[in-house]
Amino acid sequence: MPIYHTLGSIPHKRHTQFRKPDGSLYAEELVSTEGFSSLYSLVYHAYPPTIVKELGEPYSVEPKIAREKHLKHTSLIGFNIKPEDDYLQSRKPVLVNSDLHISLAAPRKSMTDYFYKNSQADEVIFIHEGTGTLKTGFGKLKFEYGDYLVIPRGTIYQMEFDGEQNRLFIVESFSPIRTPKRYRNQYGQLMEHAPYCERDIKRPTDLETHDEKGDFKILIKKQGLIYPYIYGTHPFDFVGWDGFHYPWAFSIHDFEPITGRVHQPPPVHQTFEGHNFVICSFVPRKFDYHPLSIPAPYNHSNVDSDEVLYYVDGDFMSRKHVVKGQITLHPGGIPHGPAPGSVEKSIGKEFTEELAVMIDPFRPLMLTEDAVNIEDENYYKSWIS
C-alpha cells in the first residue's frame, strides 16, 4: 500500500551512523521487494537481524491435492473446519493454484511461544470471528470482525487473540497485494471514484522495542516448508522504521459500494489485486433503481476465471440455504447464476444486507483433502427447480 509511514526513532539521513546511548551502532536493515525496484522500508534494530543460534529440520505444510482437475460447481461448509489451539496448525488450505492459496482457520490460542514469517507470500487474513492484535516489529494492529489484515511477505508476526472463538479466511498471494490500479492516480493516491481512501487504512501504532537476548523461535515458511529457526535476539527489537513496506488493515465495513440504475458487474466490488486474481467485497447496499431493474445477478458464464465466494453474514437474495463461512466455487467453463425463484423474488427489493468476500483467480483452483472433507456433494444440483 503506497502510503509513507514511520514509527520510533530514525536518523536524519539513511545509511548514516545511528548510535545507541552507549555509543554503539544500531543495525540498519533494508526490507525491499522486487529487488530494489518496489516498495521498501528501512528498519533500525537494537541488534543485527542475522544472529541465528540454531536451525531445526524443516517440515512440509504443502497442501495435499485431492482434486487437481474438475468441472463441478462446489460448495464447502467452512465452519466445519474444526478449531485447534495452535495458530499454524489451524490453517487448512482448501483451494490452491500457483498464484494463491486459500485457507480456513479456527485458532483458539494466541501465538506465545513462537513467531511466524511467511517469506514466500503476502497474506490477507480476513477476520470473520474474533478480535485481537497483530504484533510485529513495525508496531501493533488491533483487529476485529470484518478486518482485512494485509501482511507483506517477510514480516515476522504474532497473532494475539482476545478469546478462543476465532474464524479466519486467509489468502496467501505469491505476488504483492495492491490496491487496484484503476483506483490510483499516477502518484499512487486513491482517486475520488475509489470505494475507499487512505483515511480508511489502519496502520501500525504503539511501537515497542524489545531489547532482549535469548532463544527466540521463528517458524519461517518457504516453498511449502516450515523452517524452525532459533534467533539470539527478539525479532521485535525495532527502535524505529520508515517506508512503504509494512502490515496494514482495512475493514470491509468501510468499503463504499458502487451502485447504478441496473445491476452492476462484479468489478465494482474489487478491493485488492494480485497477479492473476482479484479480491472483492460485497457489502450492504442499495439495489438498482431503474423502474424495470432486476436486482438478482444475471446468469454468468465463467470463461477465463474461476469464482470463489466466501459468505460472511446477512441475507443473500441470489441463493437460499446459505450459511456463514460457506464457500462456493464456480469453475471457469460452465455458467452459474441465481437459484431458482430468486430472480422473480428479487424484483421490487430496494436493499441488501449481504456481506461476502469474492476471489476471482485466472488459473484453475485445485481442491485439497481438507476441502473435500467439508464439501456439500450435492451443491451442483441446486439449480434444479
300 is in an annotated binding site: yes
**Residue 253 appears among annotated catalytic residues:** no
The catalytic position among 70, 253, 263, 275 is 263
Question: Is 234 marked as a binding-site residue?
Answer: no
Amino acid at 339: A
Q: What is the 3-state secondary structure (H, E, C) of the chain?
A: CCCCEEEECCCCCCCCCCECCCCCECEEEEEECCCCCCCEEEEEECCCCCCEEEECCCEECCCCEEECCCCCCEEEEHHHCCCECCHHHHCEEEEECCCEEEEEECECCCCCCCEEEECCCEEEEEEEECCEEEEECCEEEEECCCEEEEECCCCEEEEEECCCCCEEEEEEECCCCECCHHHECCCCCECCCCCCCHHHCECCECCCCCCCEEEEEEEEEECCEEEEEEEEECCCCEEEEEECCCCEEEEHHHCCCCCCCCCCCHHHHEEEEECCEEEEEECCEECCCCCCCCCCCCCEECCCCCEEEEEEECCCCCCCCCCCCEEEEECCCCEECCCCCHHHHHCCCCEECCEEEEEEECCCCEEEHHHHCCEECCHHHCCCC
336 is in an annotated binding site: yes
Task: State how far Cα 125 lies from the chain centre.
Answer: 4
Torsion angle defined by CA atoms of residues 302, 359, 366 and 176, in that order, rounded to the nearest 10 degrees? 120
Binding residues: 300, 306, 336
Q: Which residues are catalytic?
A: 263
Binding residues for Fe cation: 300, 306, 336
